[in-house]
Structure 1
Amino acid sequence: MDDVSTPVRAGAAAPYGQVLVNEKWRGSAIAQGFQGKIKPIFEDGLGLVDFHLSNQTCVLYISETDMVVGNSYKRKLVRFRKATSLRGIVLVEKTRISEQYFQSVQKFVVLELGMTLLPVASQTEASQLLIQLVHEESKEHGHNPFRRKSRSNLAEPAVLAMVQQIPGVGKVKALALLQQFPSIHQLSNATTEELEVVVGRTIAQQIRTFFMQT
């Protein structure tokens, strides 16, 4: 299914407030969840990409089955990363069945490929998250022509959500951390002493433990 001749279609972009959807998702729970919230545009030829949010950001989906049956999802992600410099967000189904594989996937996606990973419990939750990302993008590129571009642009809500997965880190601490360490790479490589300045020793140690385990 992922063995396509064109890994990423050049120039693919959804109008703001809409999303390009790989034809294989037509009729899925994700697509059904878009109804009345955002407009999906189904297209063939998106290659490895499952959802295009804009000309800079696209989403790849790793299902519970993908993790259980083997490592084909890794080839898919590596091909994507080699084929394009587009921002990639990876949604991963974290369920009771796939939970044992999750840390390995997280380490591969975040630390080895430098992509943003967000866990979802189901396609329904994935649909809600995609709607949120599309809305965030629309606000980011709102009607104010003089709006200063955000440092992390659309990826910011996704990165923020990921940092909040760390035990003891809520939204306030996550925002403070991302001001000091703008990327997951920088955050994961920060020393306990550097983190302690922002969130205190206890949380700093929890952050280091989180990244050492993943």
Structure 2
Amino acid sequence: MQTNQFPTLFQAKSLELIGNLIEVSGSAFFLVQPDMQHQGAYISNAPSDIEKSYTSTYFALDPLNPIHFKHTDIKVATLDSQLSQQELLQSRYYLEFMTQYQHRYVADIFFRNARNEIIAVISLLRVKAMGDFTAQEIQLLHSVHDFMEYSLNTVYLPKRETERNNLQDRYGLTDRELDVLEMLISGASNKEIARRIDMGIATLKTHLNHIYRKTSVQSRTELTARVLSEI
């Protein structure tokens, strides 16, 4: 993996670490914005469209939605700790989303900043045959939580902000153009970018044209290659 893989290297390495500790069938590491929406998701060993489906329709239905843990100090929670099996198996979230992507058990790890605001979540997925997360496994996740949270706050997020500032200084990008650029590099489609930052497709295309002009490129591929080579 390239050391300049922007902006997902820390996320990828974190999921790799946890995957070496406990068995999972898939995982995701996403940042949480102040409005509790997803940003910058990195998906491992799961369908590429799972995050899009989740954020567009099922985020609000998720019993592990970070908004439910906003005013708590809970570090790790499992799906089955929030609902009875009967409630879960009869829920729209399970019937429409979980079965579609073939996972049955979920454990979420919540990371907070110094103000106790949730800033990131790791979701660990398991197919039915793997069984639920054991008490020993939950304890293991607790044991790595504090170090990962510290690294997130002191290394990854500051580096991410530095990279954004460098790109802004180099190309004269606005904050909104930086948001678009970051999501574009992560592989999001125009429709997904527009939905995440609440703008029309026409407005998004205007932003993209400005980014292409400011960075002297003509395509997504060329833009991605240029940015990755310069950070």
TM-score with structure 1 setting the length: 0.26
Name the structure with the higher helix share. Answer: 2
Relative contact order, higher structure (CA 8 A, sep 6+): 2
For the pair shown, the structure with the greater C-alpha radius of gyration is 2
